Amino acid sequence: MPAATSSPRKAIVWMAGWLTAMIVIAVAGREATRTLHVFQIMELRSVLGFAMLWPLVHASGGLAAMRTRRIGSHIARNTVHYGAQFGWFLALTLIPIAQVVAIEFTMPVWTALLAVAFLGERLGPARIAAVALGLVGVAVIVRPGIEHVDPGQLIALAAAFGFAISIILVKSLTTTESVVAIIFWMLVIQSAIGLVPALLVWRTPGAGVWPWILVIALCGTYSHFCMAKALTLADAMMIVPMDFLRVPLSALAGWLVYGERIDLFTVVGAGLILAANLLNLRRSTPAPDDDTRMATSR
């Protein structure tokens, strides 16, 4: 990254926006699901998100700049992404917010394994150790065979795996598509995918739920932009570890808003997963296209 464009202080501000948006969307998602089905929430998020993204689309050159010759790749990516998002929102209704976020951080572990399987990347000693730490962390949180495994934990794990697949698919898109274009097609395609499921469970939203829906749409759309801006202003080695603050901050939000208590297993498991992420991150600094992948992962 050229020194002239580097601004760690500004990057921290943009990352604060990302962290705030991601924590707020978790609370808003849980509140909205008290009244509406997840399918309907996701459809409203995509439709409203498209309107909220329009200023960035306009600034990027309008609809003409959103044209793509890779619609098939966008459809494949967003089909998987839609399923992962559904699992993430559903998990929020079943287990503590901190557990959802901690398990979500296994995404880089699955991404590393998928990159080896489908992109021909090498699995060196550091990555092997990172994968092992991540898997042990999941086992500590879920504790299979020791206690009853909560379905919400498995759903969160499946969502993390889905997000990892989405990142692998996005990697090829970033060679020809801009961040705004990837988010644009995400909203358009997921609106189409979710239309019928949303209509099947449709309930007219009451006045009390609309603020939560608007918050979900706003945070879900512009959180990506905050992360992308942060990555243009500072190295990923500085930015990505800041995202790990989502785990304790989410735990704090769950405790303050819902009185959720976090057990020792979740704390230890989250620590192992975050250690795995740090180890994987220190292996090498991502190139610019890798930075874009992270910014468009959800």
How many Å separate Cα 27 from the centre of its chain?
15
Helix, strand, or coil (residue 144): strand
Give pLDDT tens digits for 104-161: 888 777 877 777 777 676 777 877 787 788 788 878 877 765 566 788 989 999 999 9
pTM to 2 decimal places: 0.80
H/E stretch holding 298 reads: none
Report the candidate in 106, 223, 116 with the shortest Cα–Cα distance to residue 160: 106
C-alpha 273/C-alpha 106 separation (Å) is 6
- Residues near 276 by Cβ (< 8 Å), separated by ≥ 6? 108, 109, 129, 130, 131, 132, 133, 134, 137
For position 144, what pLDDT does the model report?
64
Number of folded domains that form the chain: 1
For position 244, what pLDDT does the model report?
76
For position 116, what pLDDT does the model report?
75
C-alpha 128/C-alpha 126 separation (Å) is 5
Task: Note whether 71 and 119 are within 8 A (CB).
Answer: no
For position 4, what pLDDT does the model report?
40
Query: Looking at residue 222, what DSSP letter applies?
Result: H
Helix, strand, or coil (residue 207): coil
Q: List, run by run, the mean pLDDT of 10-residue segments along the chain (298 residues).
A: 62 88 93 94 93 91 92 93 94 90 82 74 76 81 68 91 84 81 91 96 93 93 80 70 80 89 83 79 52 52
Helices (H), 174-263: 179-200, 210-233, 236-243, 246-258
The phi, psi pair for 144, rounded to 5°, reads -65, 135
For position 274, what pLDDT does the model report?
81
For position 283, what pLDDT does the model report?
57
Domain residues for the domain of 124 are 3-295
Task: Note whether 266 and 102 are within 8 A (CB).
Answer: yes
Place of tokens 């962390």: 137
Helix axes 97-104, 151-173, angle to 10 degrees: 40
Report the candidate in 226, 222, 239 with the shortest Cα–Cα distance to residue 8: 239
Task: State the Cα angle at 197 between 43 and 100, rounded to 5°.
Answer: 65
